[in-house]
């Protein structure tokens, strides 16, 4: 939902996406306009963690020169960027979005910010988590690629350099699909791409000295007004008690009765 890092490859830098998501438990706001986020502890989106890890790995393999971690959101987003720095990113960019703007920040707005940053930083690769686990949109990566008119390798479970192209193995419904795409490109990380490292203490200390640049969406000439209006957010219905039946015939009868079949 917020915070993305772009990773770039080759000559330039890599920006990796990082979203902040709330740790459970979650309650719906009384006015049904969203969920309560005040006082709820947030942490890095797990798929974004995998994205950061992939970028750092690529840097260690000398495939990319620099990893830049980006997050869009309020002041607390800096914590998440610091964690990425502790994992091995070189510097961070915090795009500050607060209050109502932040609540309405959706994939399209974030994608616009990322596209603008990718151009500004002359990034060669943008790596994001495939989706944020709070809204499960799974749109930002694809939209970013479209805005930049770059190829995309989404749901990546394996990424390798082959010559001057990227070979991406994607996890799709039918199994695994392997594609070759040109650079610059956008990748989104799936679960099995890697296992994120635990930040080492020396790196946590070093992260203190790494720079995080601050900017606003306006600085990138990005308009973050949402085209969507959330009408209502409600909890799933309470799970009702089930019932036991004696035979298969009873089961079929009950299902017919309830209109299920």
Partner 1 sequence: MAALFKARKALALCVNGIRRLSQLAELPETHQILRQTCRDYADRELSPIAGRLDKEHSYPGKQILDLGAMGVMAIEVPEDLGGAGMDYLAYSVAMEEISRGCASTGVVVSVNNSLYIGPILKFGTEEQKNEWITPFSTGEKVGCFALSEPGNGSDAGAASTLAHQEGDEWVLNGTKAWITNSWDASATVVFATTDKKLKHKGISAFLIPMPHPGLSLGKKEDKLGIRASSTANIILEDCRIPLSNMLGPRGAGFKIAMQTLDSGRIGIASQALGIAQASLDCAADYAHKRCAFGSPIGKLQGIQFKLADMAVAIESARLLTWKAASLRDSQKPFTKEAAMAKLAASEAATFCSHQAIQILGGMGYVTDMPAERHYRDARITEIYEGTSEIQRLVIAGQVLKEYQQ
Residues 46-105 that bind partner 1 (CB under 8 A): 79, 82-83, 86
H and E: helices and strands count for the chain: 7, 12
Residue 191 binds partner 1, judged by CB under 8 A: no
**Cis, bond preceding 25 (omega within 30 deg of 0):** yes
Tokens, residue 165:
């192209």
Q: Is 19 in the site for partner 1 (CB under 8 A)?
A: no
d(CA 155, CA 96): 28
Structural contact between residues 8 and 121, judged by C-beta atoms closer than 8 angstroms: yes
User: Binding-site residue total for partner 1 (CB under 8 A)?
Assistant: 14
Residues 200, 213, 235, 245: which binds partner 1 (CB under 8 A)?
200
DSSP three-state, residue 116 = helix
Question: Which C-beta is closer to partner 1: that of 64 or that of 87?
Answer: 87
**Cross-strand pairs, 168:** 159, 179
| Residue 205 interacts with partner 1 (CB under 8 A): yes or no | yes
Position 198 contacts partner 1 (CB under 8 A):
yes
Q: Token pair of 204, please?
A: 């946590």
For partner 1, which stretch binds (CB under 8 A), given 11-19, 133-141, 149-157, 204-212? 204-212
Task: Tell which positions 162-181 bind partner 1, by CB under 8 A.
Answer: none
In the complex, which residues of this chain contact partner 1 (CB under 8 A)? Answer: 43, 79, 82-83, 86, 198-202, 204-205, 207-208
């Amino acid at each position: 939902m917020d915070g993305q890092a772009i990773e770039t490859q080759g000559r330039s830098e890599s920006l990796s996406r990082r979203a902040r998501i709330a740790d459970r438990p979650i309650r719906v706001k009384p006015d049904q306009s969203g969920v309560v986020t005040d006082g709820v502890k947030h942490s890095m989106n797990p798929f974004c963690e995998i994205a950061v890890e992939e970028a750092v790995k690529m840097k260690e393999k000398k495939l990319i020169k620099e990893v830049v971690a980006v997050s869009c959101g309020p002041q607390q987003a800096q914590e998440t960027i610091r964690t990425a720095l502790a994992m091995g990113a070189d510097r961070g960019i915090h795009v500050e979005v607060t209050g109502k703007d932040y609540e309405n920040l959706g994939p399209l707005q974030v994608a616009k910010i990322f596209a603008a940053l990718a151009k500004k930083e002359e990034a060669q690769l943008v790596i994001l988590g495939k989706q944020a686990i709070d809204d499960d949109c799974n749109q930002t990566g694809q939209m970013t690629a479209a805005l930049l008119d770059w190829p995309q390798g989404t749901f990546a479970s394996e990424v390798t350099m082959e010559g001057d192209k990227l070979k991406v193995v994607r996890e799709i419904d039918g199994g695994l699909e392997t594609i070759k795409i040109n650079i610059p490109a956008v990748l989104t990380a799936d679960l099995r791409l890697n296992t994120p490292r635990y930040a080492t203490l020396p790196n946590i200390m070093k992260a203190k000295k790494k720079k995080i640049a601050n900017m606003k969406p306006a600085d990138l000439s990005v308009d973050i007004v949402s085209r969507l209006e959330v009408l209502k957010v409600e909890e799933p219905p309470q799970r009702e008690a089930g019932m036991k039946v004696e035979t298969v015939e009873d089961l079929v009868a009950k299902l017919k009765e309830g209109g299920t079949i």
